[in-house]
């Protein structure tokens, strides 16, 4: 089993990656990928977010690379942050106009001024059942509202940075046509979570979430989880069916 595209990776426009765009594209071609999405962190992440103004520059660089390397399609994506319980995302209209592919996920460190209570609950959820339950309720609400109120192609690493009700999320993802990620780097969706989500007519995507060049296209761990869960490969958006 292999993938034809990788829809989650970071470049030097994210604060936590040094990946050069052309090196990313060359590596993806080497691996035989047909399509990739460059998905840097949304601008409201206080440590790693892309600067809004740089989104124009990134668009131009990607257009140039698509001309230079016609053997692959490079999409301008984003890994937007899910903000607050009402599920806003940090992709404004101007950025949306430039964008080809929207990922959204929850991250510590986004919008610290307003969301510090949510982050604190998620960090402390390991130590108290009461906090765990509150965090789970709020994270689930945020994710559901984000899918209902925004045009999102895929939710990144659902449940990785804080607990969620996978069943409730999968139900709404099926309604809104939002895909759920089986992230190779973060361990979510887990095998058990895939088995819950696959009861609903939701699509899945396997991605590397590469922050380093050598990890682009690496989804071995995600594939193992697909097999363990008994998920039909035709339900995975980017699996290459031979
Ligand atoms: Zn992420
Ligand atoms: Zn990421």
Look up the CATH architecture of domain 2-240: Alpha-Beta Barrel (3.20)
Q: How far is the CA of 23 from the centre of ligand 2 (A)?
A: 18
Per-residue pLDDT 10s for the chain (242 aa) are 899 999 999 999 999 999 999 999 999 999 999 999 999 999 999 889 999 999 999 999 999 999 999 999 999 999 999 999 999 999 999 999 999 999 999 999 899 989 999 999 999 999 999 999 999 999 999 999 999 999 999 999 999 999 999 999 999 999 999 999 999 999 999 999 999 999 999 999 999 999 999 999 999 999 999 999 999 999 999 999 87
Q: What is the pLDDT of residue 155?
A: 98
- Token pair 């993938």: residue: 3
Q: How far is the CA of 133 from the centre of ligand 2 (A)?
A: 26
Q: How far is the CA of 207 from the centre of ligand 2 (A)?
A: 9
Q: What is the pLDDT of residue 135?
A: 97
Q: How far is the CA of 156 from the centre of ligand 1 (A)?
A: 6
Q: How far is the CA of 231 from the centre of ligand 1 (A)?
A: 23
Q: How far is the CA of 7 from the centre of ligand 1 (A)?
A: 12
- What pTM, to 2 d.p., does this model score? 0.96
Q: How far is the CA of 107 from the centre of ligand 1 (A)?
A: 6
Q: How far is the CA of 186 from the centre of ligand 2 (A)?
A: 9
Nearest bound ligand to CA 207?
Answer: 2
Q: How far is the CA of 242 from the centre of ligand 1 (A)?
A: 30
Spell out the SS3 assignment of the chain: CEECEECCECCCCCCCCCCCHHHHHHHHHHCCCCEEEECCECCCECCCCCCCCHHHHHHHHHHHHHHHCCCCEEEEEEEEEEECCCCEECCCHHHHHHCCEEEEECCCCECHHHHHHHHHHHHHCCCCHHHHHHHHHHHHHHHHHHHHHCCCCEECCCCCCCCCCHHHHHHHHHHHCCEEEEECCCCCCCHHHHHHHCCCCCCEEEECCECCHHHCCCCHHHHHHHHHHCCCHHHECCEECC
Q: How far is the CA of 28 from the centre of ligand 2 (A)?
A: 17
């Amino acid at each position: 089993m292999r993938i034809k595209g990788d829809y989650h990776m970071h470049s030097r426009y994210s604060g936590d990656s040094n990946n050069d765009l052309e090196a990313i594209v060359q590596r993806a071609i080497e691996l035989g990928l047909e399509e990739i999405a460059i998905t840097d962190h949304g601008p409201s992440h206080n440590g790693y977010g892309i600067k809004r103004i740089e989104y124009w520059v990134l668009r131009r660089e990607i257009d140039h690379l698509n001309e230079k390397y016609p053997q692959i399609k490079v999409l301008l994506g984003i890994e937007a942050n899910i903000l607050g319980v009402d599920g806003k995302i940090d992709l404004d209209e101007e950025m949306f106009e430039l964008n080809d592919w929207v990922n959204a996920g929850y991250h510590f460190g986004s919008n610290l001024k307003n969301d510090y209570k949510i982050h604190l609950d998620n960090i402390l959820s390991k130590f108290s059942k009461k906090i765990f339950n509150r965090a789970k309720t709020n994270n689930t609400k945020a994710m559901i509202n984000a899918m209902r109120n925004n045009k999102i192609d895929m939710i990144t690493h659902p449940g990785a940075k804080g607990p969620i009700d996978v069943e409730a999320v999968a139900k709404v993802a099926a309604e809104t046509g939002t895909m759920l990620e089986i992230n190779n780097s973060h361990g979510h969706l887990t095998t058990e979570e895939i088995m819950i989500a696959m009861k609903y007519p939701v699509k899945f995507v396997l991605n590397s979430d590469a922050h380093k060049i050598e990890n682009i296209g690496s989804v071995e761990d995600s594939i193992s989880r697909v097999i363990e869960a008994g998920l039909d490969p035709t339900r995975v958006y980017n699996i290459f069916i031979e």
